[in-house]
Chain A
């Protein structure tokens, strides 16, 4: 299904495809089964390809690293003893950007899906037949072609007519994205949780290539993400990104291909989010830090807005929020109105399950799909994330936010993306209401009324509050609850920055857990402790700096989300627990995914020691805004009780300067909401959008206005409202 064949062929020359292609195409074949290796090799030779075989993945990787230009395509088996095929796939995608085809005798849906989500171009069933191998050259051409296309394109965002079929490469055109989202929708079904130790993926540090291939180091990637956030995921075109990044020696082509991968990664994240697996890994699993940052803003908002959440859900959420403070509301209740408006699509309602950290997610049981809302306990935010993903399409929803879990895989309605896309509007998850909440612009701002949930109180979401949406996305959350913040779960998802915070309110809810997902510097701060509540788990995951501060509310931290460890820098942590997608064990049930772990970790009743010091990693955002920088290095979340929550310290949240997460400068213990139990770290994410920085979140009372940081400081524990009093607010600077 390559793009119009004639089209392609006419482009061949310009695409620098060698003469007589595909004859002589260089393939690297990796399989531990010698028989299969011999058979496929023979077949490939008969197709006149040039084949190199390898029976170990590690050896294959070193071959690839040493000779970057030596291969055009890789074919790899899934089950190998020394390294999982999917991991190899990811590494290759990150480091070398070569098309990879997976092979397996196991053709179950989830296995194939895993291939897709990790970026495989194709999936072959063993025994492999000759006919299937004859056309594999198309993957090479397609990739080259896409790359060159991206380069040519300069600044035009929409590729409306591109209408390319969804390939594994994500298109960045927003219109195309929609299409892609749709197609992905059905792909997103349950997916296996990625068990791999993606955590270690941080820092894949390929040897520097001698060839033009660029090594996307953490810093470079962060710059990239910053630039993307600054531009807005929709408008991010390689040329502009390149300009913003201002890295000598980097070409537009490099940026273009990296952007593709990034988008793919985001999609994957969001897709994964949908699954129960929750945040873990998928979100960050992106292994490779490169991906991490990508979380992209979480369009949580969008999701929420997008109506992913059914009105009932929202209503339910609201009820919950109102009714039971302890209930975690995962989503900030959004005004129905807003939601309605937003709901562009309603995908399945997201069901939130209780207990989710995020504050009870929205609905009990209803799955809110797409709604980024923090979701529900079950699945962990990812579900929502997925939604978000969907939503964002343009944005790249990163959603990590585990928002809602999605129990339903519903794919995020792409439409919702629209909704959300709203330019950065904040999305607010409305709880209950389904509709998408669109939040537009500025941080958190939920457009229109911002809804936010949270019934009860507070301001909810106010634009601004809540979390922020940080640039790009913002997250937010918050939920209601009195006093400020809402617990909402913030979800943030943002990719860059955004923080999320969640809720606060004392009463529990909060929850929302934030899910933030930050990809880049985003912070997530969990909502506050307040009892009950949810904790929404914060799942944050920020990859790349971002910290997560999971706070969980007492007891329940639901985290469904995983807090994802931020790769790179951010370290949350408690030692690793946060950082890696751990899930915090929240009391609540289900926490799917990592969030739970994270939360658990965080919450762990026992102190986590957050590696406080968050290192000052605070990345100062230079120039590019949008990423938060988490500077507060110390986010130590210490729980008064002694439990420390993890605050993502080192999150490098790249928010450029604006980062709002205030880390416990205020005194860590205090802030770190993340307390073993239910403390949430309120991190403020002040994400400021570069674009429309409404940053000042001041509007919400709770929120600290200054950077638009969402969450009022109080929430974070800062003020005693939080139960644990730990709210880590991280301010990103």
Chain B
């Protein structure tokens, strides 16, 4: 594919992500930060985000799997994930985390503890779902970027 086509594809992908709400204007800010002095900034960030998020999701799964769930820890992790997703601009993931946190806070309500637990489980699933969706698109983005950069460096030679 030609360089231009690659670029178009990448832009199209990113735009569609914006339109769908997968990304918000924080991501735009990040795009602005990437410049000649830090060409791989977004790629690095995305990679960092994915690694960190998956770690957190694994922890959350483990925590909710316990006989007695430590909601404070769960909340702490969700808070962390919320922070990193908002820093990256991953809007849907962030919103899912917000909702998850609400359920965590409610779990103390009397009675119905079981229900809240299930809600938390479900919320975690939503977060995972959103995350993996985003992750897929990020992967595509990164690949396109790599190819573009390969093209560009080839052209410079």
- Chain A residues packing against B (C-beta within 8 Å): 32-36, 38-40, 42-43, 45-46, 79, 105-106, 126-130
Contact = CB atoms under 8 A, between A and B. Distances in A.
Contacts of A34: 48, 52, 84
A127 B38 CA distance: 20
B79 A105 contact: yes
* Chain B: interface size category: 20 to 34
Interface string B51-79: 01000000000000000000000001001
A169 to B, nearest CB: 29
Interface stretch (B29-37, B122-130, B134-142, B145-153): B29-37
B86 A130 contact: no
A195 to B, nearest CB: 13
Contacts, number: 59
Interface in B67-97: 76, 79-80, 82-84, 86-89
Given A33-B83, A38-B45, A105-B79, A127 B33 contact: no
Residue from B44, B83, B86, B88 having most chain A Cβ neighbours under 10 A: B83
Nearest to A32: B80
A45 B33 CA distance: 10
B18 interface: no
A516 B43 CA distance: 58
Contact of B87 (A32, A35, A46, A130): A35
A127 B33 CA distance: 14
Contact of A130 (B33, B41, B76, B88): B33
B41 A35 contact: no
A697 to B, nearest CB: 51
Given A38-B48, A42-B38, A105 B83 contact: yes
A35 B29 CA distance: 14
B89 A33 contact: no
Given A42-B38, A105-B79, A127-B89, A36 B32 contact: no
Contacts of A33: 52, 80, 83-84, 87
A42 B26 CA distance: 13
Contacts of B48: 34-35, 38
Contacts of A130: 29, 32-33
B116 interface: no
13 contacts: A33-B83, A33-B84, A34-B48, A35-B87, A35-B88, A36-B83, A42-B30, A43-B29, A45-B38, A79-B76, A126-B86, A127-B86, A129-B26
B117 interface: no
A42 B40 CA distance: 12
Contact of A129 (B29, B44, B45): B29
Given A33-B80, A79-B76, A105 B86 contact: yes
A36 B82 CA distance: 11
A79 B78 CA distance: 12
Contacts of A129: 26, 29
Q: Which 7 A-B pairs have the closest CB atoms?
A: A35-B84, A105-B83, A36-B87, A127-B86, A127-B26, A127-B87, A39-B87
A38 B30 CA distance: 11
B92 to A, nearest CB: 15
B81 to A, nearest CB: 9
Contact of A36 (B29, B33, B76, B84): B84
A193 B103 CA distance: 24
Given A35-B45, A105-B79, A42 B87 contact: no
Contact of A46 (B33, B79, B86): B33
Contact of A35 (B32, B38, B49, B79): B49
Residue from A40, A42, A43 having most chain B Cβ neighbours under 10 A: A42
Contacts of A43: 29, 33
Given A35-B52, A45-B38, 8 more contacts: A33-B52, A35-B49, A38-B45, A39-B30, A42-B30, A105-B83, A127-B26, A127-B86
A43 B86 CA distance: 15
Contacts of B45: 35, 38-39
Contacts of B32: 130
Contacts of A106: 79
A40 B41 CA distance: 12
A42 B86 CA distance: 16
A34 B49 CA distance: 8
Contacts of A45: 38
A127 B25 CA distance: 10
Residue from A38, A106, A126 having most chain B Cβ neighbours under 10 A: A38
Contacts of B86: 105, 126-127
Contacts of B88: 35, 39
A43 B29 CA distance: 9
B80 to A, nearest CB: 6
B53 to A, nearest CB: 9
A277 to B, nearest CB: 21
A38 B48 CA distance: 9
Contacts of B30: 39, 42
Nearest to A31: B83
Contacts of A32: 80
A21 to B, nearest CB: 21
A105 B76 contact: no
A130 B27 CA distance: 12
Residue from A32, A39, A126, A128 having most chain B Cβ neighbours under 10 A: A39
Interface in B84-120: 84, 86-89
A90 B102 CA distance: 30
A126 B87 contact: yes
Residue from B33, B45, B48, B87 having most chain A Cβ neighbours under 10 A: B87
Contact of A79 (B79, B84, B87, B89): B79
A482 B32 CA distance: 75
A126 B41 CA distance: 19
A291 B136 CA distance: 53
A38 B79 contact: no
A36 B89 CA distance: 11
